Chain A
Protein backbone atom coordinates (compact mmCIF):
# COMPACT_ATOMS: atom_id res chain seq x y z
CA UNK A 1 0.00 0.00 0.00
CA UNK A 2 1.73 3.16 -1.20
CA UNK A 3 -0.06 5.97 0.61
CA UNK A 4 -1.26 6.64 4.14
CA UNK A 5 -4.67 7.68 2.84
CA UNK A 6 -5.20 4.39 0.97
CA UNK A 7 -3.90 2.25 3.84
CA UNK A 8 -5.98 3.98 6.52
CA UNK A 9 -9.08 4.16 4.35
CA UNK A 10 -8.94 0.39 3.94
CA UNK A 11 -8.59 0.00 7.70
CA UNK A 12 -11.68 2.19 8.22
CA UNK A 13 -13.67 -0.11 5.92
CA UNK A 14 -12.42 -3.15 7.85
CA UNK A 15 -13.66 -1.59 11.11
CA UNK A 16 -17.04 -0.85 9.46
CA UNK A 17 -17.46 -4.49 8.44
CA UNK A 18 -16.60 -5.81 11.91
CA UNK A 19 -19.01 -3.27 13.40
CA UNK A 20 -21.81 -4.39 11.07
CA UNK A 21 -21.28 -8.02 12.15
CA UNK A 22 -21.55 -7.15 15.85
CA UNK A 23 -24.61 -5.01 15.27
CA UNK A 24 -26.35 -7.78 13.32
CA UNK A 25 -25.62 -10.36 16.03
CA UNK A 26 -27.12 -8.06 18.70
CA UNK A 27 -30.19 -7.43 16.54
CA UNK A 28 -30.66 -11.21 16.28
CA UNK A 29 -30.11 -11.58 20.06
CA UNK A 30 -27.28 -14.03 19.28
CA UNK A 31 -25.36 -12.97 22.38
CA UNK A 32 -22.34 -15.32 22.09
CA UNK A 33 -21.69 -14.24 18.54
CA UNK A 34 -22.38 -10.62 19.51
CA UNK A 35 -19.81 -10.74 22.28
CA UNK A 36 -17.14 -12.23 19.95
CA UNK A 37 -17.86 -9.85 17.09
CA UNK A 38 -17.91 -6.87 19.44
CA UNK A 39 -14.50 -7.85 20.85
CA UNK A 40 -13.13 -8.17 17.29
CA UNK A 41 -14.44 -4.72 16.44
CA UNK A 42 -13.18 -3.19 19.70
CA UNK A 43 -9.65 -4.49 19.24
CA UNK A 44 -9.49 -3.35 15.58
CA UNK A 45 -10.93 0.06 16.51
CA UNK A 46 -8.58 0.66 19.44
CA UNK A 47 -5.60 -0.55 17.41
CA UNK A 48 -6.66 1.99 14.78
CA UNK A 49 -7.14 5.02 17.01
CA UNK A 50 -4.63 4.31 19.81
CA UNK A 51 -1.73 2.73 17.96
CA UNK A 52 -1.95 3.57 14.28
CA UNK A 53 -3.18 7.12 14.74
CA UNK A 54 -2.37 8.63 18.10
CA UNK A 55 0.93 6.79 18.66
CA UNK A 56 2.36 6.58 15.14
CA UNK A 57 0.75 8.98 12.65
CA UNK A 58 -0.28 11.94 14.83
CA UNK A 59 3.07 11.93 16.62
CA UNK A 60 4.88 11.89 13.28
CA UNK A 61 2.84 14.79 11.93
CA UNK A 62 3.19 16.82 15.12
CA UNK A 63 6.99 16.21 15.03
CA UNK A 64 7.11 17.89 11.60
CA UNK A 65 4.48 20.61 11.98
CA UNK A 66 4.31 21.09 15.74
CA UNK A 67 1.05 20.49 17.61
CA UNK A 68 -1.70 21.15 15.10
CA UNK A 69 -5.42 21.95 15.41
CA UNK A 70 -6.55 18.98 13.29
CA UNK A 71 -4.78 16.30 15.35
CA UNK A 72 -5.98 17.94 18.58
CA UNK A 73 -9.60 17.84 17.43
CA UNK A 74 -9.19 14.26 16.18
CA UNK A 75 -7.94 13.26 19.65
CA UNK A 76 -11.03 14.88 21.19
CA UNK A 77 -13.27 12.97 18.80
CA UNK A 78 -11.45 9.74 19.70
CA UNK A 79 -12.38 10.48 23.33
CA UNK A 80 -16.03 10.81 22.25
CA UNK A 81 -15.81 7.50 20.35
CA UNK A 82 -14.24 5.76 23.38
CA UNK A 83 -17.03 7.10 25.62
CA UNK A 84 -19.67 5.65 23.26
CA UNK A 85 -17.89 2.29 23.08
CA UNK A 86 -17.82 2.12 26.91
CA UNK A 87 -21.56 2.77 27.03
CA UNK A 88 -22.09 0.04 24.44
CA UNK A 89 -19.97 -2.39 26.52
CA UNK A 90 -22.41 -1.82 29.39
CA UNK A 91 -25.46 -2.28 27.16
CA UNK A 92 -24.01 -5.52 25.74
CA UNK A 93 -23.27 -6.90 29.21
CA UNK A 94 -26.86 -6.15 30.22
CA UNK A 95 -28.10 -7.73 26.94
CA UNK A 96 -30.02 -4.51 26.34
CA UNK A 97 -30.33 -4.63 22.55
CA UNK A 98 -32.50 -1.50 22.29
CA UNK A 99 -29.88 0.72 23.97
CA UNK A 100 -27.02 -1.04 22.17
CA UNK A 101 -28.59 -0.51 18.73
CA UNK A 102 -29.52 3.11 19.51
CA UNK A 103 -25.95 3.83 20.55
CA UNK A 104 -24.70 1.83 17.53
CA UNK A 105 -26.53 4.23 15.22
CA UNK A 106 -24.94 7.19 17.02
CA UNK A 107 -21.47 5.61 16.97
CA UNK A 108 -21.80 4.75 13.27
CA UNK A 109 -22.52 8.34 12.25
CA UNK A 110 -19.99 9.80 14.70
CA UNK A 111 -17.21 7.62 13.29
CA UNK A 112 -18.27 8.16 9.69
CA UNK A 113 -18.13 11.95 9.90
CA UNK A 114 -14.83 11.59 11.79
CA UNK A 115 -13.44 9.27 9.08
CA UNK A 116 -14.54 11.67 6.39
CA UNK A 117 -12.45 14.48 7.89
CA UNK A 118 -9.45 12.17 8.21
CA UNK A 119 -9.75 10.78 4.68
CA UNK A 120 -10.46 14.13 3.05
CA UNK A 121 -7.95 16.28 4.92
CA UNK A 122 -5.72 14.73 7.55
CA UNK A 123 -4.30 11.68 5.75
CA UNK A 124 -3.63 13.57 2.49
CA UNK A 125 -1.90 16.20 4.64
CA UNK A 126 0.29 13.43 6.10
CA UNK A 127 1.08 12.02 2.64
CA UNK A 128 2.19 15.51 1.57
CA UNK A 129 4.18 16.39 4.70
CA UNK A 130 5.77 13.16 5.85
CA UNK A 131 8.69 11.88 3.79
CA UNK A 132 8.80 8.53 5.64
CA UNK A 133 5.21 7.41 4.79
CA UNK A 134 6.30 3.92 3.65
CA UNK A 135 8.21 3.40 6.89
CA UNK A 136 5.21 4.51 8.97
CA UNK A 137 2.92 2.13 7.08
CA UNK A 138 5.35 -0.74 7.76
CA UNK A 139 5.38 0.25 11.44
CA UNK A 140 1.54 0.19 11.54
CA UNK A 141 1.43 -3.25 9.92
CA UNK A 142 3.52 -4.77 12.73
Chain B
Protein backbone atom coordinates (compact mmCIF):
# COMPACT_ATOMS: atom_id res chain seq x y z
CA UNK B 1 0.00 0.00 0.00
CA UNK B 2 1.31 3.45 -0.85
CA UNK B 3 1.45 5.65 2.19
CA UNK B 4 3.13 8.71 0.75
CA UNK B 5 0.65 11.40 -0.17
CA UNK B 6 -1.73 9.99 2.40
CA UNK B 7 -1.71 12.41 5.27
CA UNK B 8 -4.41 12.94 7.84
CA UNK B 9 -3.39 16.50 8.44
CA UNK B 10 -5.03 18.05 5.44
CA UNK B 11 -7.61 20.21 7.10
CA UNK B 12 -7.89 23.40 5.02
CA UNK B 13 -7.40 26.81 6.67
CA UNK B 14 -10.43 27.99 8.64
CA UNK B 15 -11.21 30.82 6.26
CA UNK B 16 -12.02 28.26 3.52
CA UNK B 17 -15.26 26.94 5.06
CA UNK B 18 -16.00 30.12 7.06
CA UNK B 19 -16.14 32.35 3.99
CA UNK B 20 -18.99 30.16 2.68
CA UNK B 21 -20.74 29.94 6.07
CA UNK B 22 -20.52 33.69 6.65
CA UNK B 23 -22.03 34.52 3.24
CA UNK B 24 -24.84 31.95 3.11
CA UNK B 25 -27.27 33.40 5.72
CA UNK B 26 -27.25 36.82 4.04
CA UNK B 27 -28.33 35.17 0.79
CA UNK B 28 -31.27 33.83 2.79
CA UNK B 29 -32.04 37.41 3.88
CA UNK B 30 -31.99 38.43 0.21
CA UNK B 31 -34.49 35.61 -0.48
CA UNK B 32 -36.80 37.11 2.13
CA UNK B 33 -36.38 40.59 0.60
CA UNK B 34 -37.18 39.16 -2.85
CA UNK B 35 -40.35 37.60 -1.44
CA UNK B 36 -41.22 40.89 0.26
CA UNK B 37 -40.79 42.76 -3.01
CA UNK B 38 -43.66 40.74 -4.49
CA UNK B 39 -45.93 42.01 -1.65
CA UNK B 40 -48.79 39.57 -1.28
CA UNK B 41 -48.29 38.14 -4.79
CA UNK B 42 -44.97 36.43 -4.03
CA UNK B 43 -46.53 33.09 -3.13
CA UNK B 44 -49.59 33.29 -5.39
CA UNK B 45 -48.04 31.46 -8.32
CA UNK B 46 -45.09 29.13 -8.58
CA UNK B 47 -43.92 31.13 -11.59
CA UNK B 48 -44.03 34.52 -9.82
CA UNK B 49 -40.74 36.43 -10.28
CA UNK B 50 -40.45 36.98 -6.52
CA UNK B 51 -40.78 33.25 -5.76
CA UNK B 52 -38.36 32.20 -8.53
CA UNK B 53 -35.79 34.71 -7.24
CA UNK B 54 -36.29 33.71 -3.58
CA UNK B 55 -36.04 29.99 -4.45
CA UNK B 56 -32.68 30.45 -6.19
CA UNK B 57 -31.34 32.73 -3.46
CA UNK B 58 -32.06 29.91 -1.01
CA UNK B 59 -31.08 26.86 -3.07
CA UNK B 60 -27.91 28.32 -4.60
CA UNK B 61 -27.04 31.19 -2.28
CA UNK B 62 -27.80 29.50 1.02
CA UNK B 63 -27.96 25.72 0.57
CA UNK B 64 -25.29 25.17 -2.09
CA UNK B 65 -23.08 27.78 -0.41
CA UNK B 66 -23.06 25.91 2.92
CA UNK B 67 -22.89 22.45 1.32
CA UNK B 68 -19.87 23.38 -0.80
CA UNK B 69 -18.12 25.06 2.14
CA UNK B 70 -18.77 22.01 4.32
CA UNK B 71 -17.55 19.56 1.66
CA UNK B 72 -14.31 21.55 1.22
CA UNK B 73 -13.79 20.92 4.93
CA UNK B 74 -15.17 17.40 5.25
CA UNK B 75 -13.70 15.57 2.27
CA UNK B 76 -10.03 15.95 3.26
CA UNK B 77 -10.96 14.74 6.75
CA UNK B 78 -12.74 11.59 5.65
CA UNK B 79 -10.48 10.78 2.70
CA UNK B 80 -7.12 11.75 4.17
CA UNK B 81 -6.31 13.46 0.88
CA UNK B 82 -6.20 17.23 0.46
CA UNK B 83 -8.33 18.76 -2.28
CA UNK B 84 -5.98 19.99 -4.97
CA UNK B 85 -5.38 23.77 -4.58
CA UNK B 86 -8.15 24.09 -1.98
CA UNK B 87 -7.51 27.79 -1.19
CA UNK B 88 -7.65 29.32 -4.69
CA UNK B 89 -10.37 26.88 -5.82
CA UNK B 90 -12.49 27.73 -2.77
CA UNK B 91 -12.05 31.45 -3.39
CA UNK B 92 -13.00 31.14 -7.06
CA UNK B 93 -15.99 28.88 -6.33
CA UNK B 94 -17.15 31.25 -3.58
CA UNK B 95 -16.96 34.41 -5.69
CA UNK B 96 -18.55 32.82 -8.77
CA UNK B 97 -21.36 31.35 -6.67
CA UNK B 98 -22.12 34.76 -5.08
CA UNK B 99 -22.05 36.69 -8.35
CA UNK B 100 -23.89 33.95 -10.29
CA UNK B 101 -26.65 33.66 -7.69
CA UNK B 102 -27.13 37.44 -7.44
CA UNK B 103 -27.39 37.82 -11.22
CA UNK B 104 -29.64 34.79 -11.72
CA UNK B 105 -32.05 35.80 -8.97
CA UNK B 106 -32.09 39.45 -10.09
CA UNK B 107 -32.72 38.17 -13.63
CA UNK B 108 -35.86 36.42 -12.34
CA UNK B 109 -36.94 39.33 -10.15
CA UNK B 110 -36.67 42.25 -12.59
CA UNK B 111 -37.32 40.17 -14.86
CA UNK B 112 -34.42 40.55 -17.26
CA UNK B 113 -33.42 37.17 -18.63
CA UNK B 114 -30.44 38.65 -20.48
CA UNK B 115 -28.67 38.69 -17.07
CA UNK B 116 -28.62 34.88 -17.37
CA UNK B 117 -25.92 35.27 -20.03
CA UNK B 118 -23.52 36.32 -17.26
CA UNK B 119 -25.07 34.37 -14.40
CA UNK B 120 -24.98 30.95 -16.09
CA UNK B 121 -21.26 30.91 -16.99
CA UNK B 122 -20.38 32.09 -13.46
CA UNK B 123 -22.47 29.35 -11.84
CA UNK B 124 -21.07 26.84 -14.28
CA UNK B 125 -17.50 27.81 -13.34
CA UNK B 126 -18.35 27.45 -9.63
CA UNK B 127 -19.88 23.99 -10.02
CA UNK B 128 -17.39 22.67 -12.59
CA UNK B 129 -14.43 23.73 -10.39
CA UNK B 130 -16.03 22.16 -7.38
CA UNK B 131 -17.21 18.98 -9.08
CA UNK B 132 -13.89 18.38 -10.81
CA UNK B 133 -12.17 18.79 -7.47
CA UNK B 134 -14.73 16.58 -5.71
CA UNK B 135 -15.07 14.16 -8.62
CA UNK B 136 -11.48 12.92 -8.58
CA UNK B 137 -11.78 12.20 -4.85
CA UNK B 138 -15.16 10.54 -5.17
CA UNK B 139 -14.11 8.32 -8.05
CA UNK B 140 -10.63 7.25 -6.98
CA UNK B 141 -9.77 7.97 -3.41
CA UNK B 142 -12.64 7.31 -1.06
CA UNK B 143 -13.37 3.90 0.35
CA UNK B 144 -16.80 2.38 -0.17
CA UNK B 145 -19.53 2.33 2.43
CA UNK B 146 -23.12 3.40 2.01
CA UNK B 147 -22.37 6.96 2.94
CA UNK B 148 -19.88 7.54 0.13
CA UNK B 149 -22.01 5.50 -2.29
CA UNK B 150 -24.93 7.85 -1.59
CA UNK B 151 -22.80 11.00 -1.90
CA UNK B 152 -21.62 9.67 -5.30
CA UNK B 153 -25.24 9.32 -6.43
CA UNK B 154 -25.94 12.82 -5.06
CA UNK B 155 -23.05 14.25 -7.12
CA UNK B 156 -24.50 12.57 -10.24
CA UNK B 157 -27.86 14.16 -9.46
CA UNK B 158 -26.16 17.55 -9.08
CA UNK B 159 -24.77 17.14 -12.59
CA UNK B 160 -28.27 16.36 -13.88
CA UNK B 161 -29.74 19.34 -11.99
CA UNK B 162 -27.19 21.72 -13.48
CA UNK B 163 -27.62 20.36 -17.01
CA UNK B 164 -31.43 20.55 -16.89
CA UNK B 165 -31.26 23.94 -15.13
CA UNK B 166 -29.10 25.28 -17.97
CA UNK B 167 -31.56 23.94 -20.54
CA UNK B 168 -34.43 25.55 -18.64
CA UNK B 169 -32.57 28.87 -18.37
CA UNK B 170 -31.91 28.87 -22.11
CA UNK B 171 -35.64 28.52 -22.71
CA UNK B 172 -36.06 31.82 -20.82
CA UNK B 173 -33.50 33.53 -23.05
CA UNK B 174 -34.90 31.96 -26.27
CA UNK B 175 -38.57 31.36 -25.43
CA UNK B 176 -39.57 30.43 -29.01
CA UNK B 177 -36.69 28.30 -30.16
CA UNK B 178 -36.23 25.70 -27.44
CA UNK B 179 -38.50 23.42 -25.45
CA UNK B 180 -40.63 25.49 -23.15
CA UNK B 181 -42.40 22.91 -21.09
CA UNK B 182 -43.23 22.97 -17.40
CA UNK B 183 -42.00 19.37 -17.42
CA UNK B 184 -38.40 20.63 -17.76
CA UNK B 185 -38.84 22.69 -14.59
CA UNK B 186 -40.25 19.75 -12.65
CA UNK B 187 -37.39 17.55 -13.83
CA UNK B 188 -34.89 20.23 -12.72
CA UNK B 189 -36.66 20.45 -9.33
CA UNK B 190 -36.82 16.67 -9.00
CA UNK B 191 -33.09 16.09 -9.59
CA UNK B 192 -32.14 19.10 -7.47
CA UNK B 193 -34.33 18.42 -4.44
CA UNK B 194 -35.11 14.70 -4.70
CA UNK B 195 -31.63 13.90 -6.00
CA UNK B 196 -28.82 16.21 -4.90
CA UNK B 197 -30.34 17.55 -1.67
CA UNK B 198 -32.13 14.45 -0.37
CA UNK B 199 -29.31 12.05 -1.29
CA UNK B 200 -26.57 14.30 0.11
CA UNK B 201 -28.49 14.63 3.38
CA UNK B 202 -28.99 10.84 3.46
CA UNK B 203 -25.29 10.16 2.82
CA UNK B 204 -24.24 12.60 5.52
CA UNK B 205 -26.88 11.42 8.01
CA UNK B 206 -25.72 7.78 7.81
CA UNK B 207 -22.43 9.03 9.30
CA UNK B 208 -23.33 11.92 11.57
CA UNK B 209 -26.48 10.67 13.31
CA UNK B 210 -24.89 7.56 14.86
CA UNK B 211 -21.65 9.48 15.48
CA UNK B 212 -22.86 12.65 17.16
CA UNK B 213 -25.90 11.32 18.97
CA UNK B 214 -24.72 7.77 19.73
CA UNK B 215 -27.68 6.04 18.05
CA UNK B 216 -27.73 2.57 16.45
CA UNK B 217 -26.30 2.50 12.91
CA UNK B 218 -28.69 3.22 10.01
CA UNK B 219 -29.83 -0.29 8.86
CA UNK B 220 -27.31 -1.33 6.18
CA UNK B 221 -29.78 -2.68 3.61
CA UNK B 222 -32.04 0.34 3.85
CA UNK B 223 -29.01 2.64 3.66
CA UNK B 224 -28.17 1.09 0.28
CA UNK B 225 -31.67 0.53 -1.14
CA UNK B 226 -33.29 3.86 -0.32
CA UNK B 227 -30.81 5.99 -2.36
CA UNK B 228 -31.01 3.45 -5.21
CA UNK B 229 -34.81 3.70 -5.07
CA UNK B 230 -34.68 7.50 -5.20
CA UNK B 231 -32.32 7.44 -8.17
CA UNK B 232 -34.41 4.90 -10.10
CA UNK B 233 -37.58 6.89 -9.32
CA UNK B 234 -36.00 10.05 -10.73
CA UNK B 235 -34.93 8.21 -13.90
CA UNK B 236 -38.48 6.86 -14.37
CA UNK B 237 -40.08 10.26 -13.74
CA UNK B 238 -37.71 12.07 -16.11
CA UNK B 239 -37.54 9.75 -19.10
CA UNK B 240 -40.73 7.65 -19.17
CA UNK B 241 -43.82 9.85 -19.65
CA UNK B 242 -46.36 6.96 -19.69
CA UNK B 243 -48.88 7.52 -16.90
CA UNK B 244 -48.39 4.07 -15.34
CA UNK B 245 -44.60 4.52 -15.17
CA UNK B 246 -45.02 8.03 -13.72
CA UNK B 247 -47.26 6.59 -11.01
CA UNK B 248 -44.69 3.90 -10.15
CA UNK B 249 -41.85 6.48 -10.11
CA UNK B 250 -43.72 8.91 -7.89
CA UNK B 251 -44.86 6.19 -5.48
CA UNK B 252 -41.30 4.87 -5.25
CA UNK B 253 -39.87 8.37 -4.58
CA UNK B 254 -42.44 9.15 -1.87
CA UNK B 255 -42.05 5.71 -0.26
CA UNK B 256 -38.26 6.10 -0.09
CA UNK B 257 -38.56 9.54 1.51
CA UNK B 258 -41.16 8.30 4.03
CA UNK B 259 -39.14 5.20 4.99
CA UNK B 260 -35.99 7.31 5.30
CA UNK B 261 -37.72 9.88 7.55
CA UNK B 262 -39.38 7.28 9.80
CA UNK B 263 -36.07 5.44 10.23
CA UNK B 264 -34.31 8.67 11.28
CA UNK B 265 -37.08 9.43 13.80
CA UNK B 266 -36.76 5.86 15.15
CA UNK B 267 -32.94 6.06 15.40
CA UNK B 268 -33.09 9.41 17.21
CA UNK B 269 -35.53 7.94 19.72
CA UNK B 270 -32.98 5.18 20.44
CA UNK B 271 -30.08 7.56 21.06
CA UNK B 272 -27.86 6.88 24.03
CA UNK B 273 -26.77 10.53 24.33
CA UNK B 274 -29.92 11.79 26.01
CA UNK B 275 -29.01 15.43 26.65
CA UNK B 276 -31.26 18.12 25.23
CA UNK B 277 -29.64 18.94 21.89
CA UNK B 278 -30.86 21.67 19.57
CA UNK B 279 -29.46 19.87 16.51
CA UNK B 280 -31.81 16.95 17.22
CA UNK B 281 -34.80 19.31 17.28
CA UNK B 282 -33.68 20.63 13.88
CA UNK B 283 -33.37 17.06 12.55
CA UNK B 284 -36.88 16.21 13.80
CA UNK B 285 -38.31 19.34 12.23
CA UNK B 286 -36.50 18.49 9.00
CA UNK B 287 -37.64 14.89 8.63
CA UNK B 288 -41.13 15.87 9.79
CA UNK B 289 -41.25 18.38 6.92
CA UNK B 290 -39.93 15.78 4.48
CA UNK B 291 -42.59 13.34 5.64
CA UNK B 292 -45.33 15.93 5.16
CA UNK B 293 -43.95 16.96 1.75
CA UNK B 294 -43.82 13.33 0.53
CA UNK B 295 -47.39 12.57 1.62
CA UNK B 296 -48.67 15.82 0.07
CA UNK B 297 -46.81 15.09 -3.18
CA UNK B 298 -48.42 11.67 -3.41
CA UNK B 299 -51.92 12.98 -2.60
CA UNK B 300 -51.49 15.86 -5.05
CA UNK B 301 -50.58 13.38 -7.81
CA UNK B 302 -53.56 11.15 -7.04
CA UNK B 303 -55.86 14.18 -7.12
CA UNK B 304 -54.49 15.65 -10.36
CA UNK B 305 -51.88 13.64 -12.31
CA UNK B 306 -51.35 16.26 -15.03
CA UNK B 307 -49.33 19.45 -14.86
CA UNK B 308 -52.44 21.53 -15.61
CA UNK B 309 -52.78 22.63 -12.08
CA UNK B 310 -55.77 24.48 -10.70
CA UNK B 311 -55.41 26.96 -7.82
CA UNK B 312 -55.47 24.43 -5.02
CA UNK B 313 -53.04 21.99 -6.61
CA UNK B 314 -50.77 24.89 -7.52
CA UNK B 315 -50.78 26.13 -3.90
CA UNK B 316 -50.10 22.56 -2.75
CA UNK B 317 -47.13 22.37 -5.10
CA UNK B 318 -45.67 25.57 -3.67
CA UNK B 319 -46.22 24.20 -0.16
CA UNK B 320 -44.40 20.97 -1.10
CA UNK B 321 -41.49 23.10 -2.34
CA UNK B 322 -41.44 25.16 0.87
CA UNK B 323 -41.54 22.05 3.07
CA UNK B 324 -38.70 20.41 1.11
CA UNK B 325 -36.44 23.45 0.74
CA UNK B 326 -37.11 25.52 3.84
CA UNK B 327 -38.53 22.84 6.14
CA UNK B 328 -36.23 19.94 5.27
CA UNK B 329 -32.94 21.17 3.78
CA UNK B 330 -32.63 24.55 5.55
CA UNK B 331 -33.51 23.05 8.96
CA UNK B 332 -30.76 20.45 8.68
CA UNK B 333 -28.23 23.04 7.52
CA UNK B 334 -29.14 25.41 10.37
CA UNK B 335 -28.99 22.59 12.91
CA UNK B 336 -25.65 21.28 11.67
CA UNK B 337 -24.08 24.75 11.59
CA UNK B 338 -24.82 25.11 15.33
CA UNK B 339 -22.38 22.20 15.83
CA UNK B 340 -19.92 22.54 12.94
CA UNK B 341 -19.00 26.22 13.37
CA UNK B 342 -17.97 26.04 17.06
CA UNK B 343 -16.18 22.76 16.47
CA UNK B 344 -14.09 24.08 13.57
CA UNK B 345 -13.22 27.21 15.52
CA UNK B 346 -12.16 25.20 18.55
CA UNK B 347 -10.18 22.75 16.41
CA UNK B 348 -8.18 25.54 14.77
CA UNK B 349 -7.58 27.44 18.02
CA UNK B 350 -6.48 24.23 19.71
CA UNK B 351 -3.98 23.52 16.96
CA UNK B 352 -2.49 26.99 17.31
CA UNK B 353 -2.36 26.68 21.09
CA UNK B 354 -0.68 23.25 21.12
CA UNK B 355 2.73 24.97 20.99
CA UNK B 356 1.91 26.80 24.24
CA UNK B 357 0.09 24.16 26.28
CA UNK B 358 -0.84 26.59 29.13
CA UNK B 359 -3.12 28.42 26.69
CA UNK B 360 -5.37 25.38 26.13
CA UNK B 361 -7.39 25.94 29.29
CA UNK B 362 -8.15 29.51 28.18
CA UNK B 363 -9.80 28.48 24.88
CA UNK B 364 -13.56 28.96 24.52
CA UNK B 365 -15.43 25.65 24.38
CA UNK B 366 -18.32 24.94 21.98
CA UNK B 367 -21.06 26.39 24.17
CA UNK B 368 -19.19 29.67 24.58
CA UNK B 369 -18.62 30.01 20.82
CA UNK B 370 -22.29 29.40 20.01
CA UNK B 371 -24.30 29.76 23.26
CA UNK B 372 -27.28 27.41 23.72
CA UNK B 373 -29.65 30.37 24.13
CA UNK B 374 -28.70 31.73 20.72
CA UNK B 375 -29.34 28.30 19.13
CA UNK B 376 -32.69 28.02 20.91
CA UNK B 377 -33.77 31.38 19.45
CA UNK B 378 -32.68 30.14 16.04
CA UNK B 379 -35.02 27.17 16.35
CA UNK B 380 -37.91 29.42 17.48
CA UNK B 381 -37.40 31.89 14.64
CA UNK B 382 -37.11 29.08 12.13
CA UNK B 383 -40.28 27.28 13.25
CA UNK B 384 -42.26 30.54 13.35
CA UNK B 385 -41.03 31.53 9.92
CA UNK B 386 -41.68 28.07 8.41
CA UNK B 387 -45.25 28.04 9.79
CA UNK B 388 -46.02 31.55 8.47
CA UNK B 389 -44.46 30.97 5.04
CA UNK B 390 -46.48 27.74 4.72
CA UNK B 391 -49.75 29.40 5.74
CA UNK B 392 -49.10 32.32 3.38
CA UNK B 393 -49.45 29.97 0.43
CA UNK B 394 -53.18 29.78 1.19
CA UNK B 395 -53.57 33.24 2.79
CA UNK B 396 -51.34 35.33 0.55
CA UNK B 397 -52.03 38.56 2.47
CA UNK B 398 -49.73 37.15 5.17
CA UNK B 399 -46.76 36.94 2.77
CA UNK B 400 -45.06 40.21 3.88
CA UNK B 401 -45.17 39.10 7.53
CA UNK B 402 -43.83 35.65 6.58
CA UNK B 403 -41.02 37.26 4.57
CA UNK B 404 -40.08 39.47 7.53
CA UNK B 405 -39.90 36.42 9.80
CA UNK B 406 -37.77 34.65 7.22
CA UNK B 407 -35.38 37.63 7.13
CA UNK B 408 -35.09 37.52 10.94
CA UNK B 409 -34.46 33.75 10.81
CA UNK B 410 -31.56 34.02 8.35
CA UNK B 411 -30.16 37.24 9.86
CA UNK B 412 -30.02 35.55 13.28
CA UNK B 413 -27.96 32.75 11.75
CA UNK B 414 -25.69 35.32 10.08
CA UNK B 415 -25.28 37.10 13.42
CA UNK B 416 -24.44 33.82 15.22
CA UNK B 417 -21.75 32.87 12.70
CA UNK B 418 -20.32 36.42 12.58
CA UNK B 419 -20.08 36.54 16.41
CA UNK B 420 -18.36 33.15 16.43
CA UNK B 421 -15.91 34.31 13.74
CA UNK B 422 -15.11 37.47 15.69
CA UNK B 423 -14.51 35.43 18.88
CA UNK B 424 -12.16 33.22 16.87
CA UNK B 425 -10.18 36.24 15.68
CA UNK B 426 -9.86 37.63 19.22
CA UNK B 427 -8.50 34.34 20.56
CA UNK B 428 -6.26 33.76 17.54
CA UNK B 429 -4.65 37.18 18.03
CA UNK B 430 -4.23 36.51 21.74
CA UNK B 431 -2.56 33.14 21.07
CA UNK B 432 -0.25 34.65 18.43
CA UNK B 433 0.70 37.49 20.78
CA UNK B 434 1.41 35.09 23.69
CA UNK B 435 3.49 32.77 21.53
CA UNK B 436 5.43 35.75 20.07
CA UNK B 437 6.03 37.02 23.62
CA UNK B 438 7.28 33.60 24.75
CA UNK B 439 9.59 33.35 21.75
CA UNK B 440 11.03 36.85 22.25
CA UNK B 441 11.56 36.11 25.98
CA UNK B 442 13.36 32.86 25.11
CA UNK B 443 15.52 34.65 22.54
CA UNK B 444 16.48 37.47 24.91
CA UNK B 445 17.24 34.94 27.68
CA UNK B 446 19.45 32.95 25.28
CA UNK B 447 21.23 36.12 24.12
CA UNK B 448 21.90 37.33 27.66
CA UNK B 449 23.10 33.83 28.65
CA UNK B 450 25.44 33.75 25.65
CA UNK B 451 26.74 37.24 26.46
CA UNK B 452 27.39 36.35 30.10
CA UNK B 453 29.05 33.05 29.07
CA UNK B 454 31.26 34.94 26.55
CA UNK B 455 32.14 37.57 29.15
CA UNK B 456 32.96 34.89 31.70
CA UNK B 457 35.11 33.01 29.17
CA UNK B 458 37.06 36.13 28.17
Contact = CB atoms under 8 A, between A and B. Distances in A.
A90 B361 contact: yes
A34 interface: no
A83 B357 contact: yes
Interface in A89-127: 90, 98-99, 101-103, 105-106, 108-110, 112-113, 115-117, 120-121, 124-125
Interface string B32-69: 00000000000000000000000000000000000000
Mostly helix, strand, loop or mixed at chain A's interface?
A: helix
A109 B360 CA distance: 17
B273 interface: yes
Contact of A65 (B3, B7, B80, B274): B3
Interface residues of B, number: 36
A70 B8 contact: yes
Given A70-B80, A87-B361, A105 B7 contact: no
Interface bracket on A: 35 or more
Interface string B338-380: 0100110011001100100100110001111000000000000
A69 B10 CA distance: 11
Nearest to A98: B367
B99 to A, nearest CB: 33
Contacts of A87: 360-361
Given A69-B6, A87-B361, A101-B367, A112 B77 contact: no
B77 A116 contact: yes
A17 interface: yes
A79 interface: yes
Contact of A106 (B3, B6, B272, B346): B346
A118 to B, nearest CB: 9
Contacts of B350: 80, 83
Contact of B354 (A79, A103, A109): A79
Interface string A10-47: 00000011011001100100000000000000000000
Contacts of B79: 120
Contacts of B357: 83
Contacts of A55: none
A51 interface: no
A128 interface: yes
A69 B3 contact: yes
Contacts of A116: 77-78, 207, 211
B212 interface: yes
Name the residue in A19, A20, A90, A115 with the highest tally of chain B Cβ atoms < 10 Å from its Cβ: A20
Interface string B69-97: 00000000111100000000000000000
Contacts of B273: 20, 23-24, 108
A69 B8 contact: yes
Nearest to A17: B272
A110 B207 CA distance: 15
B212 A108 contact: yes
A87 B274 CA distance: 23
Contact of A24 (B78, B275, B354, B360): B275
Contact of A117 (B78, B207, B360): B78
A69 B7 contact: yes
Contact of A70 (B3, B346, B366, B368): B3
B9 interface: yes
Interface of B: 1, 3-4, 6-9, 77-80, 143, 145, 207, 211-212, 214, 272-275, 339, 342-343, 346-347, 350-351, 354, 357, 360-361, 365-368
